[in-house]
Amino acid sequence: MFEKYLRKIFEKGEPIEYKKINDDLRNLLQANFDFLINYINELGNIVFFITDRDLIIKYANKTFLRYVNLEDVLDKSLKIFLPPYIKYLPTPENEKSEKILLHLKCRKPDVNISLDGYVLASNNLLIFFLERRGFIYHELFEKISDLNNEIARLTRESQKKDILIENLKNELKETLRKDLVTEVFNRIYLKEILEREIGKKRRYKIPLSVVLVDIDNFKQINQNYGRTTGDKVLKQFGKLLIENTRMVDMVFRVEDDNFILLLPNTNIDGATVVSKKIKNVANSTLFEGNISMSVNTTALECEEDDTVETVIDKVYKSLQSSI
């Protein structure tokens, strides 16, 4: 029965016949008036507001306020929230209702929301019950733009994470290639690089040489000064080797007191010059705690039929024969 009378209230031109509403229904509405108002005020898809006959707003629910982006519209004219092309707004006679389609300016002048529903006239007041029916083009465009911005933001964050992960991978790879004490390259990486450089020598016919550097009696330094001091000496020695070779050359620690210098595009004459230079500089340098060392060096040019194993064997034999 309740729905029956409500339909009559909102049917176009149908007068409100209060005498048909029984006492129980009237008491029900009165007892739950606050609940109904709160429901209308909180429900997100219902626009509910009341104006006088001059369209001065006397009440508006939260949905209306959210659409027009204002905290209060009391005593403001409804006309300021309507597009300029709307010159006339049909209003029903007193105690009658009228179906209405309304465009409401929302947040920006060029963004309109389409609403439809009913307006009821009662006691010189106009009561509007409206629902949102669809997107206007400008509003849809704005929402698509906001969505694209959010996608772009998420894409940038994903790219930053990808770069960070790639950097961490590179750092880990670099760490695995380095000797922990001296921070020069280790023996495992020497095999990988030497194999690659031998392949380039065969393919492009460019010279490739290595220099073996051996520290005499390094165990005595550890015994006399301690392992901590010995490690500092080794680190300084690794730095000395890097500083006295070219940017394209590479330094590897292959044993506790043995280092190999890999010299791309260098023949035996150039390698011999580097070998003598390293020996002279190292033998004249004071390291941690004014420790001096004696080093031996030997140079070797790789042949086309060499492998990683034959190169390392040859250079160690060459060192033994030169001592």
Report the 10 Å Cβ neighbour count for 98: 17
In CATH terms, are 2-135 and 180-322 the same topology? no
| DSSP reduced 3-state for 230 | helix
In angstroms, the CA 127 to CA 42 distance is 17
Q: Which residues pair with 286 in a beta bridge?
A: 292
- 207's CB contacts (< 8 A; 6+ apart) are 201, 265, 266, 267, 268, 301, 302
Report the 10 Å Cβ neighbour count for 209: 25
Strands 291-292 and 258-264 turn out to be unpaired
From first CA to last CA, the distance across the chain in angstroms is: 115
Lowest-pLDDT range of 17-21, 39-43, 162-166: 17-21
The domain defined by 180-322 folds into: Alpha-Beta Plaits (3.30.70)
Inform me whether the pLDDT recorded for 172 exceeds 90. Answer: no
CATH class of 2-135: alpha beta
* Domain assignments of the chain as residue spans, ordered by start: 2-135, 137-177, 180-322
In angstroms, the CA 208 to CA 302 distance is 6
Lowest-pLDDT range of 36-50, 62-76, 236-250: 36-50
pLDDT tens digits for 130-161? 887 755 555 555 666 777 788 888 888 888 88
Q: Which residues pair with 120 in a beta bridge?
A: 97, 127
